[in-house]
C-alpha cells in the first residue's frame, strides 16, 4: 500500500497541562508533511521491518471479512486520507512520559471502554474532556507536578473478545467486536464485519479530534474557568463540593498572580496539551494510517499519539508486537498477573531495543491481592535489566464481576484497593508510580457500584449505557482523583521532609 504526495496541514498546538510544566514548550501550529510510500520503505533501525511485515506473523483478534476485495478498497481509501495526528506531537508526548518514568510527571489516561457511533455527539465529548480537566487539576494540586492528559478517545473502537461467539436464548452469533467492525445488535446481519465501518470510525475520530483541539486551545481549558468545569449532576455532591473548594484555591492563586503583575492572558494559562490513544488491535486499519516522517525517516502510526498492546495480543512472536516494534509512537503494554517477569523483559527489549525513555509504559491490571504479589517481581526484573519504563495502573480490568441481574460491573472499592496496592508496592520497591489508566465517562451513568454517592446493584439498570465494559461516572472519577492526589501529596511531603522508608505520615486527610 502506498501514500504519496505533499500536504501542508494547519492544526492547533496539540494537546500534559502545559501551563503547569516547569518549562514552557511551544510547538509550531503549522506542520509540513511529506508522505512517502510505506509498503516498500524500511526503517533503518529495523532492517527486517516494514508497515506490512506483521502479515508474516500469526494475528490474534482480527475479524474475518466476507469480501476481501471491499476491505482492500476501503484500506486504499484510508491510505489516501490525511493523518489524524502528527509525528511531532507523538514525540512531544514521549518526552513527557520520560518525565513520568522518573517521578517528575504523572499520566492521566482515561475515556470510554469503547467509543460508539450512536453516542457520538459534542456533549458527550465535552463532558468526558471536562471531567479529565477536573481530575488533572486535582492531581496537579496534590502532586505539585505536571499531569500528562491522554484520552482513550478518537479511535478507541475495537475490542478484543475472549470468545469469538456469543449465545443468547439458544442463538449463537459472532461476538460484537466494536463499532468499527460490526454492530452490537443481536442479529446475524449486524454481526457480519463491514469494512465501511472503518471509514465511519476514521471520520468520527476526525470530528472528535477537531473538537478536542478546539477545547484544548480555544479558551475552554483556561485556568480562569476552573470553577466552571463542574458537571451539573456533580455540583451538589461531596466530590463537587471538594472540587469547588479546590477551584476557589486556584482562583485565589490566580488573583495573587494578577496582583503581582503575572497576567493570566499568557497562552500557558489558556491552553493545555491533550493527546489521544487506543488499543492497537485492527492491524489493517493501523497500517493504512502509518506514515513515514520526512524529518526523521521514522514511521508513525498516525491514528493516535499513543497505542498499547493488549493482554490477548502481546505474544512475542505475534503480529501485533511485530507491527508495534517498528512504529515510533509511545507504546503501552497491558500486563496482568499472568505475565512472567522474564517474558516482560523480552517484550520490552523487542519494543524498545534502544531503551529510550518515554517509549514504553507498562500498564498493570491485576486486582489488588495479585498486585501486591506479582508487581514487585516485575519491577525487580525490569530494574535488574536496566530498562526505563513508565509504570501505570489500570485498576479497572482486573476487577470486573457479574451482578445478580447479569450485567457486568466493577466495585469502586476494589478499584480503589488496587490503586492503593499499586502505590504501596512502588513505595516498597523505591520505584515511581507513573500514572493511572481508567475507563470513565462524563455521563451520569450507573455502571460501577459504590462510591460516595453509592451506586448499588439495584441501580445498574437505570443508566447502564456502555457498549462493552462498565465505566466510572464523573462523580466516581473525581473521587478517585482526590484519593490519588492525596497519595501523591503524601509522597511529595515524605520526599521533602526526608522521610525514611517505613516512617509513617501522620496526615489525617482521607486518601485511599
Whole-number average pLDDT of the chain: 86
pTM of the model: 0.87
Residue 274 is predicted with a pLDDT of: 97
Orientation of helix 122-143 relative to helix 474-497, angle to 10°: 20
Q: Choose between 240 and 305: higher pLDDT.
A: 305
Residue 415 is predicted with a pLDDT of: 97
Q: Choose between 160 and 248: higher pLDDT.
A: 160
Mean pLDDT on 410-424: 96
Q: How far is residue 117's CA from residue 465's CA, in Å, rounded to a whole number?
A: 13
Classify the C-alpha dihedral 242-244-250-255 as positive or negative.
negative
Mean pLDDT on 46-61: 94
> Is 35 a residue whose pLDDT tops 60?
no
Residue 10 is predicted with a pLDDT of: 32
Q: How far is residue 441's CA from residue 130's CA, in Å, rounded to a whole number?
A: 10
pLDDT in tens, 420-440: 999 999 999 999 999 999 999
Q: Choose between 315 and 4: higher pLDDT.
A: 315
pLDDT in tens, 344-372: 999 999 999 999 999 999 999 999 889 99
Residue 304 is predicted with a pLDDT of: 98
Between the alpha carbon of residue 214 and those of residues 16, 122, 230, 360, 505, the distances in Å are 16, 12, 19, 29, 42
> Is 500 a residue whose pLDDT tops 70?
no
Provide CB contacts within 8 A for 100, sequence distance 6+.
106, 107, 148, 358, 361, 390, 432, 434, 435
Q: Which of 42-56, 69-83, 216-230 has the lowest mean pLDDT?
A: 216-230
pLDDT in tens, 401-411: 888 988 898 99
Residue 289 is predicted with a pLDDT of: 98
Mean pLDDT on 373-378: 98
Q: Which of 159-168, 211-220, 492-501 has the lowest mean pLDDT?
A: 492-501
Per-residue H/E/C for 113-127: CCCCCCCCCHHHHHH
Is 499 strand, coil or helix?
Answer: coil
Residue 21 is predicted with a pLDDT of: 35
Amino acid at each position: 500500500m502506498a501514500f504519496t504526495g505533499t500536504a501542508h496541514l494547519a492544526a492547533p498546538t496539540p494537546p500534559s497541562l502545559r501551563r503547569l510544566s516547569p518549562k514552557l514548550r511551544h510547538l509550531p501550529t503549522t506542520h509540513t508533511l511529506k508522505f512517502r510510500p510505506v509498503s516498500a520503505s524500511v526503517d533503518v533501525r529495523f532492517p527486517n521491518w516494514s508497515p506490512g511485515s506483521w502479515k508474516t506473523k500469526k494475528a490474534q483478534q482480527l475479524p474475518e471479512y466476507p469480501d476481501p476485495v471491499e476491505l482492500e478498497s476501503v484500506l486504499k481509501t484510508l491510505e489516501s486520507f490525511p493523518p489524524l495526528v502528527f509525528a511531532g506531537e507523538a514525540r512531544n508526548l514521549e518526552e513527557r512520559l520520560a518525565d513520568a518514568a522518573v517521578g517528575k510527571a504523572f499520566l492521566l489516561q482515561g475515556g470510554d471502554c469503547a467509543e460508539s457511533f450512536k453516542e457520538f455527539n459534542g456533549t458527550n465529548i465535552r463532558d468526558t474532556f471536562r471531567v479529565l480537566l477536573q481530575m488533572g487539576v486535582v492531581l496537579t494540586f496534590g502532586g505539585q507536578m505536571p499531569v500528562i492528559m491522554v484520552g482513550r478517545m478518537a479511535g478507541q473502537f475495537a475490542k478484543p473478545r475472549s470468545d469469538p461467539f456469543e449465545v443468547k436464548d439458544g442463538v449463537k452469533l459472532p461476538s460484537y467486536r466494536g463499532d468499527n467492525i460490526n454492530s452490537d445488535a443481536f442479529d446475524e446481519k449486524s454481526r457480519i464485519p463491514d469494512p465501511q465501518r472503518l471509514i465511519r470510525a476514521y471520520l468520527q475520530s476526525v470530528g472528535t479530534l477537531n473538537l478536542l483541539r478546539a477545547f484544548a486551545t480555544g479558551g475552554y481549558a483556561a485556568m480562569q474557568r476552573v470553577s466552571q468545569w463542574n458537571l451539573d449532576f456533580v455540583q451538589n455532591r461531596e466530590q463537587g463540593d471538594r472540587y469547588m473548594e479546590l477551584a476557589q484555591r486556584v482562583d485565589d492563586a490566580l488573583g495573587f498572580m494578577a496582583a503581582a503583575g503575572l497576567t493570566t492572558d499568557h497562552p500557558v494559562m489558556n491552553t493545555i496539551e491533550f493527546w489521544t490513544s487506543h488499543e492497537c488491535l485492527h492491524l489493517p486499519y493501523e497500517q493504512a494510517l502509518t506514515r513515514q516522517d520526512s524529518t526523521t525517516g521514522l514511521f508513525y502510526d498516525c491514528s493516535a499519539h499513543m497505542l498499547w498492546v493488549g493482554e490477548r495480543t502481546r505474544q512475542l512472536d505475534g503480529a501485533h508486537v511485530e507491527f508495534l516494534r517498528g512504529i515510533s509512537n509511545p507504546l503501552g503494554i497491558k500486563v496482568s498477573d499472568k505475565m512472567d517477569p522474564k517474558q516482560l523483559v523480552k517484550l520490552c527489549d523487542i519494543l524498545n531495543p534502544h531503551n529510550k525513555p518515554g517509549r514504553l509504559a507498562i500498564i498493570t491490571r491485576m486486582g489488588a491481592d495479585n498486585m501486591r504479589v506479582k508487581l514487585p517481581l516485575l519491577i525487580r526484573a525490569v530494574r535488574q535489566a536496566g530498562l526505563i519504563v513508565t509504570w501505570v495502573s489500570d485498576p479497572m480490568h482486573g476487577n470486573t464481576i457479574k451482578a445478580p441481574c447479569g450485567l457486568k460491573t466493577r466495585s469502586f472499592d476494589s478499584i480503589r484497593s488496587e490503586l492503593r496496592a499499586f502505590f504501596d508496592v512502588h513505595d516498597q520497591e523505591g520505584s515511581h508510580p507513573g500514572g493511572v489508566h481508567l475507563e470513565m465517562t462524563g455521563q451520569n451513568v450507573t455502571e460501577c457500584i459504590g462510591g460516595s454517592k453509592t451506586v448499588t446493584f439495584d441501580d445498574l439498570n437505570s443508566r447502564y449505557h456502555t457498549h462493552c465494559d462498565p465505566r466510572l461516572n464523573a462523580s466516581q472519577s473525581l473521587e478517585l482523583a482526590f484519593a490519588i492526589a492525596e497519595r501523591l501529596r503524601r509522597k511529595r511531603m515524605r520526599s521533602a521532609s526526608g522521610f525514611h522508608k517505613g516512617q509513617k505520615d501522620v496526615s489525617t486527610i482521607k486518601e485511599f
